[in-house]
Structure 1
Protein backbone atom coordinates (compact mmCIF):
# COMPACT_ATOMS: atom_id res chain seq x y z
CA UNK A 1 0.00 0.00 0.00
CA UNK A 2 1.42 3.37 -0.88
CA UNK A 3 1.99 6.08 1.72
CA UNK A 4 -0.50 8.36 -0.01
CA UNK A 5 -3.30 5.81 0.20
CA UNK A 6 -2.58 5.14 3.86
CA UNK A 7 -2.61 8.87 4.59
CA UNK A 8 -5.91 9.27 2.74
CA UNK A 9 -7.56 6.53 4.78
CA UNK A 10 -6.38 8.11 8.00
CA UNK A 11 -7.72 11.47 6.89
CA UNK A 12 -11.12 9.99 5.97
CA UNK A 13 -11.28 8.17 9.27
CA UNK A 14 -10.40 11.35 11.12
CA UNK A 15 -13.04 13.32 9.20
CA UNK A 16 -15.66 10.63 9.85
CA UNK A 17 -14.86 10.62 13.55
CA UNK A 18 -15.04 14.38 13.68
CA UNK A 19 -18.38 14.37 11.87
CA UNK A 20 -19.85 11.84 14.30
CA UNK A 21 -18.55 13.84 17.25
CA UNK A 22 -20.14 16.93 15.76
CA UNK A 23 -23.49 15.20 15.40
CA UNK A 24 -23.20 13.88 18.94
CA UNK A 25 -22.47 17.36 20.27
CA UNK A 26 -25.45 18.79 18.36
CA UNK A 27 -27.73 16.07 19.73
CA UNK A 28 -26.44 16.64 23.25
CA UNK A 29 -27.03 20.35 22.80
CA UNK A 30 -30.57 19.76 21.58
CA UNK A 31 -31.25 17.45 24.50
CA UNK A 32 -29.87 20.00 26.95
CA UNK A 33 -32.01 22.77 25.46
CA UNK A 34 -35.06 20.49 25.44
CA UNK A 35 -34.37 19.55 29.07
CA UNK A 36 -34.11 23.21 30.05
CA UNK A 37 -37.39 23.96 28.26
CA UNK A 38 -39.18 21.07 29.97
CA UNK A 39 -37.66 22.04 33.32
CA UNK A 40 -39.11 25.54 32.89
CA UNK A 41 -42.53 24.32 31.83
CA UNK A 42 -43.84 20.77 32.30
CA UNK A 43 -41.38 19.75 35.01
CA UNK A 44 -41.44 23.10 36.81
CA UNK A 45 -42.84 22.91 40.33
CA UNK A 46 -46.27 24.49 40.68
CA UNK A 47 -45.98 27.59 42.93
CA UNK A 48 -47.21 26.59 46.39
CA UNK A 49 -47.05 28.70 49.55
CA UNK A 50 -46.27 26.35 52.40
CA UNK A 51 -46.66 22.59 52.26
CA UNK A 52 -49.96 22.66 50.37
CA UNK A 53 -52.65 25.01 49.12
CA UNK A 54 -56.03 24.86 47.45
CA UNK A 55 -56.56 25.62 43.77
CA UNK A 56 -60.09 26.65 42.76
CA UNK A 57 -61.17 25.91 39.19
CA UNK A 58 -64.41 27.52 38.11
CA UNK A 59 -66.97 26.15 35.69
CA UNK A 60 -66.04 27.00 32.12
CA UNK A 61 -62.36 27.73 32.80
CA UNK A 62 -59.97 26.41 30.15
CA UNK A 63 -56.45 25.02 30.15
CA UNK A 64 -55.39 27.77 27.75
CA UNK A 65 -56.58 30.51 30.09
CA UNK A 66 -55.10 28.74 33.12
CA UNK A 67 -51.69 28.41 31.43
CA UNK A 68 -51.71 31.98 30.12
CA UNK A 69 -52.49 33.32 33.60
CA UNK A 70 -49.56 31.44 35.16
CA UNK A 71 -47.25 32.65 32.38
CA UNK A 72 -48.41 36.25 32.84
CA UNK A 73 -47.70 35.98 36.56
CA UNK A 74 -44.17 34.77 35.75
CA UNK A 75 -44.80 31.33 37.27
CA UNK A 76 -43.70 29.40 34.17
CA UNK A 77 -41.96 29.75 30.82
CA UNK A 78 -42.78 28.31 27.41
CA UNK A 79 -46.58 28.14 27.86
CA UNK A 80 -46.85 26.72 24.34
CA UNK A 81 -45.19 23.51 25.55
CA UNK A 82 -47.87 23.03 28.22
CA UNK A 83 -50.62 23.73 25.72
CA UNK A 84 -49.19 21.17 23.28
CA UNK A 85 -48.88 18.61 26.08
CA UNK A 86 -52.50 19.18 27.07
CA UNK A 87 -53.70 18.78 23.48
CA UNK A 88 -51.73 15.58 22.91
CA UNK A 89 -51.73 13.86 26.31
CA UNK A 90 -54.77 15.14 28.26
CA UNK A 91 -57.89 14.22 26.33
CA UNK A 92 -60.33 16.07 28.57
CA UNK A 93 -61.29 19.52 29.84
CA UNK A 94 -60.59 21.14 33.19
CA UNK A 95 -63.15 20.13 35.80
CA UNK A 96 -64.61 22.67 38.21
CA UNK A 97 -63.72 22.10 41.84
CA UNK A 98 -61.18 22.88 44.53
CA UNK A 99 -57.99 20.83 44.39
CA UNK A 100 -55.23 20.35 46.96
CA UNK A 101 -51.82 21.14 45.49
CA UNK A 102 -48.85 19.78 47.45
CA UNK A 103 -45.43 21.37 47.44
CA UNK A 104 -43.19 19.83 44.78
CA UNK A 105 -45.96 18.88 42.36
CA UNK A 106 -45.03 19.68 38.76
CA UNK A 107 -47.11 21.65 36.31
CA UNK A 108 -47.75 18.41 34.41
CA UNK A 109 -49.05 16.67 37.52
CA UNK A 110 -51.35 19.57 38.36
CA UNK A 111 -52.69 19.73 34.79
CA UNK A 112 -53.50 16.03 34.84
CA UNK A 113 -55.07 16.23 38.29
CA UNK A 114 -57.54 18.98 37.39
CA UNK A 115 -58.80 17.03 34.38
CA UNK A 116 -60.58 14.61 36.74
CA UNK A 117 -63.31 15.86 39.09
CA UNK A 118 -62.69 12.83 41.30
CA UNK A 119 -59.46 14.51 42.42
CA UNK A 120 -61.29 17.58 43.73
CA UNK A 121 -61.27 18.13 47.49
CA UNK A 122 -64.02 20.75 47.48
CA UNK A 123 -66.50 22.26 45.07
CA UNK A 124 -66.50 25.94 44.14
CA UNK A 125 -70.02 27.31 43.73
CA UNK A 126 -70.19 30.72 42.04
CA UNK A 127 -73.49 32.60 42.39
CA UNK A 128 -73.24 35.78 40.34
CA UNK A 129 -74.88 38.99 41.52
CA UNK A 130 -77.96 39.81 39.48
CA UNK A 131 -78.54 36.33 38.12
CA UNK A 132 -81.91 34.73 38.68
CA UNK A 133 -83.04 31.82 40.83
CA UNK A 134 -83.61 29.81 37.64
CA UNK A 135 -80.00 30.36 36.61
CA UNK A 136 -78.83 29.27 40.07
CA UNK A 137 -80.88 26.07 39.86
CA UNK A 138 -79.63 25.35 36.33
CA UNK A 139 -76.02 25.76 37.51
CA UNK A 140 -76.57 23.32 40.39
CA UNK A 141 -78.19 20.81 38.04
CA UNK A 142 -75.13 20.91 35.78
CA UNK A 143 -72.57 20.69 38.58
CA UNK A 144 -71.19 17.16 38.68
CA UNK A 145 -69.93 17.59 42.26
CA UNK A 146 -73.35 18.44 43.73
CA UNK A 147 -75.60 15.66 45.02
CA UNK A 148 -79.10 16.31 43.67
CA UNK A 149 -82.03 16.11 46.09
CA UNK A 150 -84.31 19.09 45.47
CA UNK A 151 -83.32 20.96 42.30
CA UNK A 152 -85.60 18.86 40.10
CA UNK A 153 -88.65 19.44 42.29
CA UNK A 154 -91.39 21.93 41.35
CA UNK A 155 -90.61 25.33 42.87
CA UNK A 156 -93.43 25.21 45.42
CA UNK A 157 -92.32 21.80 46.67
CA UNK A 158 -88.66 22.86 46.69
CA UNK A 159 -89.42 25.80 48.97
CA UNK A 160 -91.42 23.53 51.27
CA UNK A 161 -88.57 20.99 51.42
CA UNK A 162 -86.17 23.77 52.41
CA UNK A 163 -88.57 25.20 55.04
CA UNK A 164 -88.59 28.57 53.27
CA UNK A 165 -91.76 30.53 54.22
CA UNK A 166 -92.13 32.35 50.91
CA UNK A 167 -94.23 31.51 47.86
CA UNK A 168 -91.64 32.77 45.35
CA UNK A 169 -87.89 31.94 45.46
CA UNK A 170 -86.48 34.92 43.58
CA UNK A 171 -84.03 37.09 45.50
CA UNK A 172 -83.87 34.82 48.55
CA UNK A 173 -80.40 33.36 47.95
CA UNK A 174 -77.17 35.27 48.54
CA UNK A 175 -74.85 35.67 45.55
CA UNK A 176 -71.18 35.05 46.30
CA UNK A 177 -68.42 32.50 45.81
CA UNK A 178 -68.77 29.48 48.07
CA UNK A 179 -66.76 26.36 48.79
CA UNK A 180 -68.54 23.16 49.73
CA UNK A 181 -67.35 19.60 50.22
CA UNK A 182 -67.34 17.52 47.07
CA UNK A 183 -70.65 15.70 46.87
CA UNK A 184 -72.50 18.19 49.08
CA UNK A 185 -76.26 18.16 48.59
CA UNK A 186 -78.15 20.88 46.75
CA UNK A 187 -80.43 21.00 49.82
CA UNK A 188 -77.59 22.10 52.11
CA UNK A 189 -76.16 24.52 49.55
CA UNK A 190 -79.50 26.28 48.95
CA UNK A 191 -80.28 26.37 52.67
CA UNK A 192 -76.90 27.98 53.33
CA UNK A 193 -77.43 30.63 50.64
CA UNK A 194 -80.95 31.35 51.90
CA UNK A 195 -79.84 31.77 55.51
CA UNK A 196 -77.04 34.12 54.45
CA UNK A 197 -79.41 36.29 52.43
CA UNK A 198 -82.00 36.53 55.20
CA UNK A 199 -79.30 37.41 57.75
CA UNK A 200 -78.02 40.19 55.48
CA UNK A 201 -81.56 41.45 54.91
CA UNK A 202 -82.41 41.41 58.63
CA UNK A 203 -79.27 43.33 59.58
CA UNK A 204 -79.77 45.93 56.85
CA UNK A 205 -83.45 46.36 57.79
CA UNK A 206 -82.52 47.05 61.42
CA UNK A 207 -80.11 49.78 60.32
CA UNK A 208 -82.26 51.28 57.54
CA UNK A 209 -82.68 55.00 56.99
CA UNK A 210 -85.93 56.71 57.95
CA UNK A 211 -88.66 57.69 55.51
CA UNK A 212 -88.37 54.67 53.24
CA UNK A 213 -91.49 53.71 51.25
CA UNK A 214 -91.30 49.98 52.07
CA UNK A 215 -94.05 48.24 54.01
CA UNK A 216 -91.66 45.49 55.07
CA UNK A 217 -88.17 44.10 54.49
CA UNK A 218 -89.39 41.91 51.61
CA UNK A 219 -90.28 45.06 49.65
CA UNK A 220 -86.77 46.32 50.39
CA UNK A 221 -85.42 43.08 48.92
CA UNK A 222 -87.51 43.68 45.80
CA UNK A 223 -86.01 47.15 45.49
CA UNK A 224 -82.48 45.76 46.01
CA UNK A 225 -82.96 43.34 43.11
CA UNK A 226 -84.02 46.19 40.81
CA UNK A 227 -81.01 48.27 41.87
CA UNK A 228 -78.75 45.28 41.23
CA UNK A 229 -80.04 44.93 37.67
CA UNK A 230 -79.86 48.63 36.86
CA UNK A 231 -76.16 49.22 37.51
CA UNK A 232 -72.96 47.26 37.84
CA UNK A 233 -71.10 50.31 39.18
CA UNK A 234 -70.85 50.14 42.97
CA UNK A 235 -70.61 53.91 43.34
CA UNK A 236 -74.01 54.29 41.63
CA UNK A 237 -75.99 51.88 43.81
CA UNK A 238 -77.17 54.50 46.30
CA UNK A 239 -77.91 56.97 43.50
CA UNK A 240 -80.13 54.47 41.68
CA UNK A 241 -81.77 53.62 45.00
CA UNK A 242 -82.42 57.31 45.60
CA UNK A 243 -84.13 57.74 42.22
CA UNK A 244 -86.51 54.83 42.79
CA UNK A 245 -87.24 55.69 46.42
CA UNK A 246 -88.15 59.27 45.48
CA UNK A 247 -90.35 57.99 42.66
CA UNK A 248 -92.23 55.74 45.06
CA UNK A 249 -92.65 58.55 47.57
CA UNK A 250 -93.96 60.82 44.80
CA UNK A 251 -96.37 58.20 43.44
CA UNK A 252 -94.36 58.14 40.19
CA UNK A 253 -94.00 54.88 38.27
CA UNK A 254 -90.60 53.22 38.45
CA UNK A 255 -90.42 52.64 34.67
CA UNK A 256 -87.44 50.31 34.81
CA UNK A 257 -86.66 47.95 31.92
CA UNK A 258 -85.27 45.03 34.01
CA UNK A 259 -88.68 44.47 35.62
CA UNK A 260 -90.34 44.37 32.20
CA UNK A 261 -87.77 41.86 30.96
CA UNK A 262 -88.30 39.65 34.00
CA UNK A 263 -92.06 39.71 33.45
CA UNK A 264 -91.58 38.64 29.83
CA UNK A 265 -89.90 35.41 30.93
CA UNK A 266 -88.81 33.19 28.06
CA UNK A 267 -90.45 35.57 25.58
CA UNK A 268 -87.52 37.93 26.04
CA UNK A 269 -84.94 37.27 23.31
CA UNK A 270 -82.50 40.12 23.91
CA UNK A 271 -84.48 43.11 22.66
CA UNK A 272 -87.22 45.10 24.35
CA UNK A 273 -89.77 46.93 22.18
CA UNK A 274 -92.29 49.70 22.75
CA UNK A 275 -94.98 47.07 22.55
CA UNK A 276 -93.29 45.21 25.41
CA UNK A 277 -93.27 48.40 27.48
CA UNK A 278 -97.00 48.86 26.88
CA UNK A 279 -97.99 45.25 27.54
CA UNK A 280 -99.22 44.87 31.12
CA UNK A 281 -97.70 42.15 33.31
CA UNK A 282 -97.37 42.00 37.11
CA UNK A 283 -93.76 43.15 36.59
CA UNK A 284 -94.24 45.92 34.03
CA UNK A 285 -93.41 49.05 36.01
CA UNK A 286 -94.28 51.19 32.98
CA UNK A 287 -97.96 50.19 33.22
CA UNK A 288 -98.27 49.65 36.99
CA UNK A 289 -97.55 51.78 40.03
CA UNK A 290 -95.33 50.74 42.90
CA UNK A 291 -93.04 47.74 43.21
CA UNK A 292 -93.44 44.45 41.34
CA UNK A 293 -94.73 41.52 43.42
CA UNK A 294 -91.34 39.79 43.90
CA UNK A 295 -87.62 40.43 43.43
CA UNK A 296 -86.38 40.05 39.85
CA UNK A 297 -82.89 38.70 40.61
CA UNK A 298 -80.50 37.70 43.38
CA UNK A 299 -79.28 40.99 44.90
CA UNK A 300 -75.89 41.38 46.54
CA UNK A 301 -75.27 42.64 50.06
CA UNK A 302 -74.21 46.00 48.57
CA UNK A 303 -77.49 46.34 46.68
CA UNK A 304 -79.52 45.44 49.78
CA UNK A 305 -77.68 48.07 51.82
CA UNK A 306 -78.19 50.63 49.05
CA UNK A 307 -81.94 49.93 49.09
CA UNK A 308 -81.92 50.79 52.81
CA UNK A 309 -79.76 53.90 52.36
CA UNK A 310 -80.66 55.89 49.23
CA UNK A 311 -78.70 59.02 48.43
CA UNK A 312 -79.96 62.48 49.46
CA UNK A 313 -80.02 64.15 46.04
CA UNK A 314 -83.10 65.36 44.15
CA UNK A 315 -82.54 63.13 41.12
CA UNK A 316 -85.54 61.25 39.74
CA UNK A 317 -84.14 60.25 36.34
CA UNK A 318 -81.08 58.46 35.02
CA UNK A 319 -79.89 57.13 31.68
CA UNK A 320 -76.78 55.29 30.48
CA UNK A 321 -73.93 57.43 29.20
CA UNK A 322 -72.84 54.92 26.57
CA UNK A 323 -69.34 54.97 28.02
CA UNK A 324 -70.05 53.14 31.26
CA UNK A 325 -72.17 54.36 34.12
CA UNK A 326 -75.20 56.64 34.11
CA UNK A 327 -76.13 60.32 34.02
CA UNK A 328 -78.52 61.33 36.83
CA UNK A 329 -80.95 64.25 36.53
CA UNK A 330 -83.39 66.07 38.80
CA UNK A 331 -85.76 67.29 36.09
CA UNK A 332 -87.13 66.16 32.73
CA UNK A 333 -85.28 68.80 30.72
CA UNK A 334 -81.89 67.66 32.00
CA UNK A 335 -82.90 64.05 31.50
CA UNK A 336 -83.94 64.60 27.87
CA UNK A 337 -80.61 66.28 27.21
CA UNK A 338 -78.81 63.30 28.76
CA UNK A 339 -80.82 60.94 26.55
CA UNK A 340 -79.77 62.87 23.45
CA UNK A 341 -76.14 62.73 24.54
CA UNK A 342 -76.46 58.97 25.00
CA UNK A 343 -77.97 58.56 21.51
CA UNK A 344 -75.13 60.64 20.03
CA UNK A 345 -72.57 58.36 21.65
CA UNK A 346 -74.36 55.29 20.28
CA UNK A 347 -74.47 56.71 16.74
CA UNK A 348 -70.79 57.55 16.94
CA UNK A 349 -69.92 54.02 18.05
CA UNK A 350 -72.06 52.48 15.31
CA UNK A 351 -70.03 54.38 12.68
CA UNK A 352 -66.72 53.01 13.98
Structure 2
Protein backbone atom coordinates (compact mmCIF):
# COMPACT_ATOMS: atom_id res chain seq x y z
CA UNK A 1 0.00 0.00 0.00
CA UNK A 2 2.74 2.47 0.97
CA UNK A 3 4.71 1.84 -2.21
CA UNK A 4 1.61 2.22 -4.39
CA UNK A 5 0.51 5.42 -2.68
CA UNK A 6 3.99 6.91 -3.08
CA UNK A 7 4.13 5.96 -6.76
CA UNK A 8 0.74 7.58 -7.35
CA UNK A 9 2.40 10.96 -6.90
CA UNK A 10 5.84 10.03 -8.24
CA UNK A 11 4.68 8.66 -11.60
CA UNK A 12 4.51 12.17 -13.04
CA UNK A 13 6.67 12.05 -16.16
CA UNK A 14 7.30 15.20 -18.19
CA UNK A 15 4.39 16.86 -16.43
CA UNK A 16 1.91 14.08 -17.21
CA UNK A 17 0.33 11.33 -15.13
CA UNK A 18 1.32 7.75 -15.87
CA UNK A 19 -2.28 6.62 -16.42
CA UNK A 20 -1.89 3.63 -14.10
CA UNK A 21 -4.41 4.88 -11.56
CA UNK A 22 -6.78 6.04 -14.29
CA UNK A 23 -6.83 2.53 -15.74
CA UNK A 24 -7.11 0.91 -12.32
CA UNK A 25 -10.19 3.01 -11.56
CA UNK A 26 -11.85 1.87 -14.78
CA UNK A 27 -11.12 -1.76 -13.86
CA UNK A 28 -12.64 -1.30 -10.41
CA UNK A 29 -15.75 0.30 -11.89
CA UNK A 30 -16.10 -2.51 -14.44
CA UNK A 31 -15.71 -5.35 -11.93
CA UNK A 32 -18.67 -4.25 -9.84
CA UNK A 33 -19.15 -4.19 -6.06
CA UNK A 34 -16.59 -5.78 -3.78
CA UNK A 35 -17.47 -9.03 -2.02
CA UNK A 36 -17.19 -7.98 1.62
CA UNK A 37 -17.19 -11.64 2.70
CA UNK A 38 -13.94 -12.32 0.84
CA UNK A 39 -11.00 -10.94 2.91
CA UNK A 40 -8.48 -11.35 0.08
CA UNK A 41 -10.65 -9.51 -2.44
CA UNK A 42 -11.44 -6.78 0.07
CA UNK A 43 -7.77 -6.15 0.84
CA UNK A 44 -6.88 -6.20 -2.86
CA UNK A 45 -9.50 -3.57 -3.67
CA UNK A 46 -8.38 -1.42 -0.74
CA UNK A 47 -4.77 -1.60 -1.97
CA UNK A 48 -5.89 -0.28 -5.34
CA UNK A 49 -8.24 2.36 -3.99
CA UNK A 50 -5.60 4.08 -1.86
CA UNK A 51 -3.39 5.27 -4.76
CA UNK A 52 -6.41 5.94 -7.00
CA UNK A 53 -8.16 8.13 -4.46
CA UNK A 54 -4.91 9.93 -3.68
CA UNK A 55 -4.01 10.72 -7.29
CA UNK A 56 -7.61 11.73 -7.93
CA UNK A 57 -7.16 14.69 -5.59
CA UNK A 58 -4.77 16.19 -8.14
CA UNK A 59 -5.64 14.52 -11.45
CA UNK A 60 -8.95 15.74 -12.90
CA UNK A 61 -9.12 12.71 -15.22
CA UNK A 62 -9.88 10.55 -12.19
CA UNK A 63 -13.51 11.10 -11.25
CA UNK A 64 -14.46 9.32 -8.04
CA UNK A 65 -18.22 9.12 -7.54
CA UNK A 66 -19.94 8.71 -4.16
CA UNK A 67 -21.04 5.23 -5.22
CA UNK A 68 -17.38 4.16 -5.57
CA UNK A 69 -17.09 4.17 -1.80
CA UNK A 70 -20.48 2.84 -0.78
CA UNK A 71 -19.07 -0.58 0.15
CA UNK A 72 -16.18 1.01 2.01
CA UNK A 73 -15.79 -0.08 5.62
CA UNK A 74 -14.51 2.79 7.83
CA UNK A 75 -13.21 0.27 10.36
CA UNK A 76 -10.15 -0.44 8.17
CA UNK A 77 -8.60 2.78 9.47
CA UNK A 78 -8.64 6.58 9.37
CA UNK A 79 -6.08 6.82 6.56
CA UNK A 80 -8.34 5.46 3.82
CA UNK A 81 -11.42 6.87 5.53
CA UNK A 82 -10.16 10.43 5.01
CA UNK A 83 -9.16 9.74 1.40
CA UNK A 84 -12.60 8.29 0.77
CA UNK A 85 -14.32 11.42 2.09
CA UNK A 86 -12.12 14.08 0.51
CA UNK A 87 -13.26 13.40 -3.04
CA UNK A 88 -16.89 13.86 -2.09
CA UNK A 89 -16.15 17.14 -0.32
CA UNK A 90 -14.18 18.52 -3.26
CA UNK A 91 -16.89 17.53 -5.74
CA UNK A 92 -19.66 19.13 -3.68
CA UNK A 93 -17.55 22.23 -2.99
CA UNK A 94 -16.95 22.76 -6.71
CA UNK A 95 -20.67 22.33 -7.43
CA UNK A 96 -21.51 24.80 -4.69
CA UNK A 97 -19.10 27.41 -6.05
CA UNK A 98 -19.99 26.88 -9.69
CA UNK A 99 -23.77 27.21 -9.48
CA UNK A 100 -25.90 29.76 -7.66
CA UNK A 101 -28.86 27.37 -7.74
CA UNK A 102 -27.03 24.49 -6.04
CA UNK A 103 -27.37 24.24 -2.27
CA UNK A 104 -25.58 21.84 0.06
CA UNK A 105 -26.49 22.64 3.68
CA UNK A 106 -24.73 19.59 5.13
CA UNK A 107 -21.32 19.97 3.45
CA UNK A 108 -19.83 22.29 6.07
CA UNK A 109 -20.82 20.15 9.05
CA UNK A 110 -19.70 16.94 7.36
CA UNK A 111 -16.31 18.45 6.52
CA UNK A 112 -15.90 19.71 10.07
CA UNK A 113 -16.78 16.28 11.48
CA UNK A 114 -14.31 14.52 9.19
CA UNK A 115 -11.61 16.99 10.22
CA UNK A 116 -12.46 16.42 13.89
CA UNK A 117 -12.29 12.63 13.54
CA UNK A 118 -9.00 12.82 11.64
CA UNK A 119 -7.43 15.01 14.32
CA UNK A 120 -8.64 12.61 17.02
CA UNK A 121 -7.08 9.73 15.09
CA UNK A 122 -3.83 11.68 14.79
CA UNK A 123 -3.80 12.28 18.55
CA UNK A 124 -4.52 8.59 19.25
CA UNK A 125 -1.68 7.40 17.05
CA UNK A 126 0.65 10.08 18.40
CA UNK A 127 0.16 8.65 21.90
CA UNK A 128 0.55 5.11 20.57
CA UNK A 129 3.81 6.08 18.88
CA UNK A 130 5.13 7.60 22.11
CA UNK A 131 4.32 4.41 24.04
CA UNK A 132 6.02 2.19 21.46
CA UNK A 133 9.09 4.46 21.35
CA UNK A 134 9.33 4.30 25.15
CA UNK A 135 9.28 0.49 24.99
CA UNK A 136 12.03 0.59 22.37
CA UNK A 137 14.17 2.81 24.59
CA UNK A 138 13.71 0.41 27.51
CA UNK A 139 14.17 -2.75 25.43
CA UNK A 140 16.13 -2.02 22.21
CA UNK A 141 15.47 -5.36 20.53
CA UNK A 142 14.78 -6.05 16.86
CA UNK A 143 11.15 -6.83 17.65
CA UNK A 144 10.61 -3.48 19.38
CA UNK A 145 12.46 -1.65 16.59
CA UNK A 146 10.17 -3.25 14.00
CA UNK A 147 7.08 -2.26 15.99
CA UNK A 148 8.34 1.29 16.41
CA UNK A 149 9.06 1.64 12.69
CA UNK A 150 5.63 0.27 11.73
CA UNK A 151 3.73 2.58 14.08
CA UNK A 152 5.82 5.61 13.09
CA UNK A 153 5.24 4.86 9.40
CA UNK A 154 1.47 4.61 9.79
CA UNK A 155 1.34 7.68 12.01
CA UNK A 156 3.23 9.88 9.55
CA UNK A 157 1.08 8.62 6.66
CA UNK A 158 -2.06 9.48 8.61
CA UNK A 159 -0.73 12.95 9.40
CA UNK A 160 0.20 13.50 5.75
CA UNK A 161 -3.33 12.76 4.56
CA UNK A 162 -4.72 14.93 7.37
CA UNK A 163 -2.54 17.81 6.13
CA UNK A 164 -4.18 17.58 2.71
CA UNK A 165 -7.59 17.27 4.37
CA UNK A 166 -6.87 20.50 6.27
CA UNK A 167 -6.55 22.37 2.97
CA UNK A 168 -9.92 21.07 1.77
CA UNK A 169 -11.73 21.85 5.02
CA UNK A 170 -10.01 25.24 5.25
CA UNK A 171 -11.39 26.19 1.84
CA UNK A 172 -14.91 25.16 2.87
CA UNK A 173 -14.91 26.48 6.44
CA UNK A 174 -14.11 30.20 6.14
CA UNK A 175 -14.85 30.86 9.81
CA UNK A 176 -12.23 28.44 11.14
CA UNK A 177 -9.80 28.66 8.22
CA UNK A 178 -7.07 30.45 10.18
CA UNK A 179 -7.28 27.98 13.09
CA UNK A 180 -7.12 24.98 10.77
CA UNK A 181 -4.13 26.56 9.05
CA UNK A 182 -2.26 26.96 12.34
CA UNK A 183 -2.88 23.34 13.29
CA UNK A 184 -1.75 22.23 9.85
CA UNK A 185 1.52 24.15 10.20
CA UNK A 186 2.10 22.38 13.53
CA UNK A 187 1.43 19.00 11.92
CA UNK A 188 3.88 19.76 9.11
CA UNK A 189 6.61 20.80 11.57
CA UNK A 190 6.03 17.67 13.66
CA UNK A 191 6.10 15.42 10.61
CA UNK A 192 9.31 16.93 9.25
CA UNK A 193 11.01 16.39 12.63
CA UNK A 194 9.94 12.73 12.60
CA UNK A 195 11.72 12.24 9.27
CA UNK A 196 15.12 13.00 10.83
CA UNK A 197 15.74 9.52 12.21
CA UNK A 198 13.70 7.44 9.79
CA UNK A 199 16.70 6.36 7.68
CA UNK A 200 17.74 3.90 10.41
CA UNK A 201 14.76 1.74 9.41
CA UNK A 202 15.85 1.47 5.76
CA UNK A 203 15.55 0.22 3.17
CA UNK A 204 11.90 -0.90 3.49
CA UNK A 205 11.24 1.39 6.44
CA UNK A 206 11.76 4.52 4.33
CA UNK A 207 9.32 3.73 1.51
CA UNK A 208 6.90 6.35 2.80
CA UNK A 209 9.33 9.28 3.09
CA UNK A 210 8.78 10.62 -0.42
CA UNK A 211 5.00 10.70 -0.01
CA UNK A 212 5.14 12.19 3.49
CA UNK A 213 7.50 15.02 2.51
CA UNK A 214 5.57 15.55 -0.71
CA UNK A 215 2.27 15.90 1.15
CA UNK A 216 3.84 18.31 3.64
CA UNK A 217 5.29 20.35 0.78
CA UNK A 218 1.92 20.57 -0.96
CA UNK A 219 0.37 21.74 2.30
CA UNK A 220 3.06 24.36 2.92
CA UNK A 221 1.79 27.86 2.20
CA UNK A 222 4.89 29.98 2.82
CA UNK A 223 8.52 29.98 1.81
CA UNK A 224 10.02 29.23 5.23
CA UNK A 225 7.90 26.10 5.74
CA UNK A 226 8.66 24.87 2.22
CA UNK A 227 12.39 25.43 2.79
CA UNK A 228 12.28 23.42 6.03
CA UNK A 229 10.71 20.50 4.14
CA UNK A 230 13.28 20.79 1.36
CA UNK A 231 16.08 20.78 3.97
CA UNK A 232 14.67 17.52 5.36
CA UNK A 233 14.67 16.06 1.84
CA UNK A 234 18.29 17.14 1.31
CA UNK A 235 19.33 15.47 4.56
CA UNK A 236 17.43 12.31 3.63
CA UNK A 237 19.26 12.16 0.29
CA UNK A 238 22.55 11.99 2.22
CA UNK A 239 21.44 8.91 4.17
CA UNK A 240 22.39 5.35 3.29
CA UNK A 241 18.84 4.39 2.31
CA UNK A 242 17.67 7.51 0.50
CA UNK A 243 14.71 7.11 -1.84
CA UNK A 244 16.08 7.37 -5.42
CA UNK A 245 13.13 9.50 -6.56
CA UNK A 246 13.81 12.20 -3.93
CA UNK A 247 15.83 14.32 -6.38
CA UNK A 248 12.83 14.72 -8.69
CA UNK A 249 10.20 14.84 -5.96
CA UNK A 250 9.54 18.55 -5.59
CA UNK A 251 9.57 19.56 -9.27
CA UNK A 252 6.81 16.98 -9.74
CA UNK A 253 5.06 18.15 -6.60
CA UNK A 254 4.89 21.68 -8.03
CA UNK A 255 2.56 20.46 -10.77
CA UNK A 256 0.49 18.31 -8.40
CA UNK A 257 0.18 21.17 -5.89
CA UNK A 258 -0.91 23.62 -8.55
CA UNK A 259 -3.58 21.20 -9.81
CA UNK A 260 -4.82 20.56 -6.28
CA UNK A 261 -5.11 24.19 -5.20
CA UNK A 262 -6.66 25.20 -8.51
CA UNK A 263 -9.46 22.74 -7.89
CA UNK A 264 -10.14 24.30 -4.48
CA UNK A 265 -10.34 27.88 -5.74
CA UNK A 266 -13.85 29.39 -5.89
CA UNK A 267 -15.04 29.76 -9.46
CA UNK A 268 -16.78 32.93 -10.62
CA UNK A 269 -17.90 34.04 -14.11
CA UNK A 270 -15.60 36.54 -15.81
CA UNK A 271 -17.05 40.08 -16.26
CA UNK A 272 -16.81 40.06 -20.05
CA UNK A 273 -17.57 36.44 -20.85
CA UNK A 274 -19.18 33.27 -19.58
CA UNK A 275 -15.81 31.57 -19.12
CA UNK A 276 -14.50 30.60 -15.72
CA UNK A 277 -11.53 32.56 -14.41
CA UNK A 278 -8.21 30.79 -13.97
CA UNK A 279 -7.11 32.07 -10.59
CA UNK A 280 -3.44 31.29 -11.18
CA UNK A 281 -1.36 33.48 -13.50
CA UNK A 282 1.61 32.32 -15.57
CA UNK A 283 3.94 32.61 -12.56
CA UNK A 284 1.76 30.35 -10.45
CA UNK A 285 0.44 33.15 -8.24
CA UNK A 286 -3.18 33.33 -7.17
CA UNK A 287 -4.92 36.25 -8.85
CA UNK A 288 -7.77 36.39 -6.31
CA UNK A 289 -8.42 39.69 -4.61
CA UNK A 290 -7.48 39.63 -0.94
CA UNK A 291 -10.31 39.30 1.55
CA UNK A 292 -10.93 41.99 4.14
CA UNK A 293 -11.65 39.47 6.90
CA UNK A 294 -9.41 39.03 9.93
CA UNK A 295 -6.51 36.69 9.29
CA UNK A 296 -5.42 35.29 5.92
CA UNK A 297 -8.02 33.34 3.98
CA UNK A 298 -7.26 30.09 2.19
CA UNK A 299 -7.06 31.96 -1.13
CA UNK A 300 -4.56 34.45 0.30
CA UNK A 301 -2.30 31.80 1.77
CA UNK A 302 -1.90 29.74 -1.42
CA UNK A 303 -0.49 32.68 -3.38
CA UNK A 304 3.07 31.35 -3.01
CA UNK A 305 4.45 30.49 -6.50
CA UNK A 306 4.84 26.70 -6.69
CA UNK A 307 7.34 26.80 -9.56
CA UNK A 308 9.90 28.62 -7.40
CA UNK A 309 9.95 25.84 -4.84
CA UNK A 310 12.38 22.96 -4.80
CA UNK A 311 15.01 24.78 -6.86
CA UNK A 312 17.73 23.89 -4.34
CA UNK A 313 17.24 20.19 -5.06
TM interval, short-chain normalised? under 0.3
TM-score computed with the length of structure 1 as normaliser = 0.21
TM-score computed with the length of structure 2 as normaliser = 0.22
Higher relative contact order (CA 8 A, sep 6+): 2
The structure with the largest helix share of the pair is 2
The structure with the largest strand share of the pair is 1
